[in-house]
Amino acid sequence: MITVSVKWQKELLKAVEIDTTQPPYVFKCQLYDLTGVPPERQKIMVKGGLLKDDADWSTLGVKEGQKLMMMGTADEIVKAPEKGPIFMEDLPEEEQAISLGHGAGLFNLGNTCYMNSTVQCLHSVPELKSALINYSQSGKSNDVDQSSHMLTIATHDLFNELDKSGKAVAPMQFWMVLRKKYPQFGQMHNNFFMQQDAEECWTQLLYTLSQSLRSAGSSENPDAIKSLFGIDFVSRVHCQESGEESSESESVHTLKCHISHEVNHLHEGLKHGLKSELEKNSPSLGRSAIYVKESRINGLPRYLTIQFVRFFWKRESNQKAKILRKVDYPLELDVYDLCSEELRKKLEAPRQKLRDEEGKKLGLKAKGSASKDNDVKMAEAEGSSNESGEPSNSKSAEGGPSEKETQLTGVYDLVAVLTHKGRSADSGHYVAWVKQESGKWIEYDDDNPIPQREEDITKLSGGGDWHMAYICMYKARVVPM
């Protein structure tokens, strides 16, 4: 790490730090934050000419305390006439963000699209934002280590910046703290940061937040991440050879859609993943035996995250290879038939209420008996439910109590898709496609938010080299009870 000064127009920027382990593009992003000059407009004079984004600092001879010269014009806001129409670019940044109807994009700091796409998907969860605000106000708990605390605060700060900024954000602080907490995201090859697996970033970030927010949670909701994303399983493990049988329970944050030549749809892949074989020691046989594990969902979350298991380790090439097979997924997902009998009974009344509400909209009379099929869409009620499907005192996005208690129905609506384009998890490009509160979809390709049509979102199902769904996030449809 060296410190330099930068002369730009009439300003002298003092004590600007350069991390020589990172490419010059990261330094340009720092200058963008300080001056408003976008990286592509910056002309910085160094030994041998202009500073290139991918140059090697060790060959440039930049020394401690050196003064660098930068040329380039900052983003300008055009002033409107005193009495005339007000254009979006004339508004303050916070008002620009509101007018745009979506959050800002994120600059790619050098193969960080995996991180950017993960952040954009999780940023779309208002209840997570509320939990982070509460954490930032309550202060660090003694139960949380410093690196987890710093990453949680950095997540809150980045979410806040995305909401308020009318232009792309450089997630420098978040990236630095993420690499400190999880050094694998700082791996380098030929002086460049390597591409990483977005699912690993998603999993590690949620794990950290679950530890931090649990310690700061209220007595009513001690585990915010579990209530938002936690999926409870109950499993029957039996050995046909010995007749042994046992039951297990576990909680995870993600459902797995296993892909084989038999799987053409998400629902088939989810069913496939609920049954598996494992080899373990049999006490009665005194040797290893094959056991069959059959699982059912016993508790549902507010947000259902599904990973398409597209990558596997290929020994010949010594890398994660990709399954390109097309697997369709719906805008509306019903997981009732994947649930345990216990949970199905709890879901029956809310599901009937869901049908009745929609029936009223269509001018139909409510039926007295519950049907397990043909669920139809209704407007989503405000509030949330706990992971077991029991009624809960739900809260609004601002954190205040709602007027009615709500229950889950087992029906979910697609709100975010994280896609991968390329042949390997450690290469290619990740993009986030996120549904806004207005109902419109935005494609977040790093710093470039692009409006998309809803009918095009389900076309990201694979079958070629185009963007294909790697992680889907669904939001629960709830009803007041």
Residues designated catalytic: 113, 429
Asked if 339 contacts 387 with a C-beta cutoff of 8 angstroms, the reply is: no
Compute the distance between CA of residue 111 and CA of residue 196 in angstroms, rounded to an integer: 8
Long-range Cβ contacts of 85-91 (<8 Å, 24+ apart): 88/166, 91/166
SS3 category, 403:
coil
Residue 85's region, left for phi above 0, alpha for psi from -120 to 50, else beta, is beta
Cβ partners under 8 Å of residue 103, min gap 6 = 97, 120, 123, 162, 163, 165, 449
Residue 299 backbone dihedrals phi, psi, to 5 degrees: -160, 130
Q: How far apart are alpha carbons 459 and 440 in whole angstroms?
A: 16
Structural contact between residues 387 and 300, judged by C-beta atoms closer than 8 angstroms = yes
Return d(Cα 292, Cα 279) in angstroms, integer. 9
Q: Find all residues with CB under 8 Å of 363, minimum gap 6, and list them.
A: none
Burial of 31 (0-12, 13-18, 19+ CB in 10 A): buried
Sign of CA dihedral 78, 82, 87, 90: positive
> Which residues, in sequence order, are CB contacts of 449 under 8 Å at separation 6+?
100, 102, 103, 104, 105, 442, 443
CB atoms under 10 Å from CB of 201, counted, come to 23
Q: Is 255 helix (H, G, I), strand (E, B) or coil?
A: strand
